[in-house]
Structure 1
Amino acid sequence: MPKITVLPHPELAPDGAVIDAPQKTSICDALLLNKIDIEHACGQVGACSTCHVIVVQGFDTLNELGDNEEDMLDQAWGLQPHSRLSCQARVALEDLTVELPRYTLNHAKE
């Protein structure tokens, strides 16, 4: 089973984490199931950018980036070349390493 290594994040994963993630599971679901409470304001339908992650390792193994996801990523804080919406990115057979950005932009709250 693939593993997701989560780099340390001051609030969500202070010590980082290594979690098992079944193939085809979204990164968001894998994080939430392992008590890493990543924000997902739209209910994981790809309509916001609050679940944005940076895929440090394994980016090329994820499912293809869709047009809607690409549009939503434009609104993400700290966008990087290997950014994905964790609700849309599906785990394949390879291990991943992800970084959780320090901030999110939740337009519904702001």
Structure 2
Amino acid sequence: MTRIVVLPNENLCPEGAVVEAEPGESVCRALLRNDIPLEHACEMSCACTTCHVVVREGYDSMEEPDELEDDYLDKAWGLEPDSRLSCQAIVADEDLVVEIPKYTINMVSERH
């Protein structure tokens, strides 16, 4: 199992968290499975930016983003060099530290 350390996020995870993920699982699925309500308006199909995270540690352990993910990341609020769409960021063997940005440019919410 790979550990994902989630840095504190005022709204979604105020205390921060440490969750376990199986190699091959997306960061988004691992967070949702552990009751961290990360937005994912396109149902994890790489068609929006609501699940944007910044990978603070372990970025290089994952496959590089493909062209489609890069195109969507360009639209994400608070884009950084180590940003990923968590629905496309597949966990490998190395532990990760992720930060959920404070804002998204969400037009649709899964929680309507």
TM-score normalised by L of structure 1: 0.96
Q: What is the CA distance between 1:108 and its match in structure 2? A: 4.0
Matches within 5 A, 1:1-110: 1-108=1-108
- What secondary structure does 1:32 align onto? helix
Percentage of pairs with the same residue: 54
Structure 1 segments unaligned to the other structure (5+ residues): none
Deviations 1:82-106 (A, max 9, x none): 0000000000000000000000011
Q: In structure 2, how many angstroms separate the alpha carbons of the residues matched to 1:65 and 1:23?
A: 17
Gaps of 5+ in 2: none
1:107 offset after TM fit, Å?
3.2
SS of the equivalent of 2:18 reads strand
The alignment of Structure 1 onto Structure 2 pairs a total of residues equal to: 109
Q: Residues 49-70 of structure 1, C-alpha deviation per residue, up to 9 Å, x if partnerless?
A: 0000000000000122100000
- Aligned-partner Cα distance in 1 for 2:108–2:2: 34
Q: What is the CA–CA distance in structure 2 between the aligned matches of 1:15 and 1:94, rounded to whole Å?
A: 23
Structure 1 vs Structure 2 CA RMSD: 0.9
Distance in structure 1 (CA, Å) of the matches to 2:64 and 2:80: 16
Matching residue's letter, 1:90: I
- What are the superposed Cα offsets for residues 11-66 of structure 1, whole Å, 9 maximum, x if unpaired? 11100000000001000000000000000000100000000000000000012210
